[in-house]
Chains A and B, each alone.
Chain A
């Protein structure tokens, strides 16, 4: 019987506002492995999908940034738990997407899960490390507190389909930002599977929005969008970077530059990615008289 069974193929769609819509444009594009063998069709997002995703991220920002750091940490741990449960699936997808042996893919997936846990731990420590009670000469308390920047546009790394993606997304949402992620153009499938994990853990809809499609087509719309507060250029094509930075400057976005060649994502990170999308708010408070 099992010989005659037709396999049920997965339809890879976008992840916007907690739902999985197809692209508004109705387009899709074939995704192949390193050897050119067909893997699946992925949705090819349009500028209007970018617009919808930004609107969803904006809507999710107030509750997500307003949640307590402890709560955000718990939610991110939950994501790691879900990742762990679907480990085998991710190993298979990363193997196919990156064309690496299953052993190395397994290492990458494990590193991605550990990375997620690492950033989950940082949610309630960031304020202590990056904030301060400033000594001032006057009858005031003076506090500096890190606050999330807002909606962050993330151009995910092009080659590291899962570990790279986790390494750029987790620090953004750990501090209370929401994001619109353009997944790796050639290797988008693990990103959508990660979106399924996010949808089934406790991450509120809209906190992470994942778009698949042509980076060169979508990135300029994200960079010029007035309602996006910051831009992570991790996976931006080299020739586009200057233009992206220029249009990001028009609306005074915070831009995180990235080296042209992708870094080794397996290296243990520091908190620079957490710090990149934080604003420092300083308040003066009179002491009791």
Chain B
């Protein structure tokens, strides 16, 4: 086997709290890491998809639906990641994050806004004094095709500008060609560059091809110290899907069982309707457990989802269907 010669050295001091012996052993060197990832149980594709489809038929109504909508709003990472983003657009996004439905001040605030590093400053100024996080993508988002130095500089820039959360992308090319150690080292290095900021690791599951790969990438990211594992950049189709999120939730659940550490999951991209969001919440509840129904442990990376949540919320409260004329355009 052509195991690449990257060193997996920085681990013990980089990955935060100590791992139990069984896991600590797996990151001793490349070969051990590889053995561990390939030793993970294979995913039963049919079983997984059936389970997901079964959970998606759950009917959530009335008070439970209203609770789910508010919980989902609290979990939204309100995102704008376009080449055409401007400070003005970020400002209006921040205003929306602070008060999602101007006519209804009781609507909870979203968890965070998510922008490109150069616009973090704008968001920081707009969100001063609130509890809303400022997430910044980094490491040559969305492709991740840049040198290590550039990626780390990107991360440091975002953190210096005031980002409290960093969304990094993994090097899918390296992962798919089996250079796990390289991916691992990179996450650890970015982890260190983040300092206090939370690290979300984007696996870009749409490019990973198999469920087995998603499981491996999830564990790889968790071993390297990710606070959150995130499905996608939103720039590749398919983006977040329920089965993939299911697998990642299993990974954080198992991680908690083995290490006692709590990690989060963030599906991103393609979640546009309240119905979708509620299906994700059902999956969270059933796979990871009710404790994960919290913005510290589960997030939605989305932009148009918030409008649909607000419309559905109005529909629930007003007794008639709402329309896009009654929410802000963004």
| A interface residue numbers (CB < 8 A to B) | 50-51, 54, 58, 221, 224-228, 247, 250-251
Contacts and interface: CB of A to CB of B under 8 A. Distances in A.
A51 B311 CA distance: 13
Contacts of A225: 320-321, 323
Contacts of B326: 226
B10 interface: no
Interface in B308-330: 319-326
A113 B63 CA distance: 50
A227 B323 contact: yes
Q: Which of A50, A250, A251 has the most CB of B within 10 A?
A: A251
Contacts, number: 28
Nearest to B311: A226
Contacts of A221: 320-321
Interface residues of B, number: 8
A188 B102 CA distance: 43
B61 to A, nearest CB: 12
Nearest to A250: B320
B321 A51 contact: yes
A224 B321 CA distance: 7
Contact of B325 (A50, A51, A227): A227
B324 A227 contact: yes
A50 B319 CA distance: 14
Most-contacted residue by chain A among B320, B321, B324 (CB, 10 A): B321
Contacts of B323: 58, 225-228, 251
A224 B320 CA distance: 6
Nearest to A247: B320
Contacts of A247: 320
A51 B324 CA distance: 13
Nearest to B322: A226
Q: Which of B323, B324, B325 has the most CB of A within 10 A?
A: B323
Contacts of A51: 321
B101 to A, nearest CB: 14
Contacts of A226: 320-323, 325-326
Contacts of A58: 323-324
A136 B53 CA distance: 64
Contacts of B320: 221, 224-226, 247, 250
Interface in B58-102: none
A78 to B, nearest CB: 31
A228 B320 CA distance: 12
A226 B317 CA distance: 14
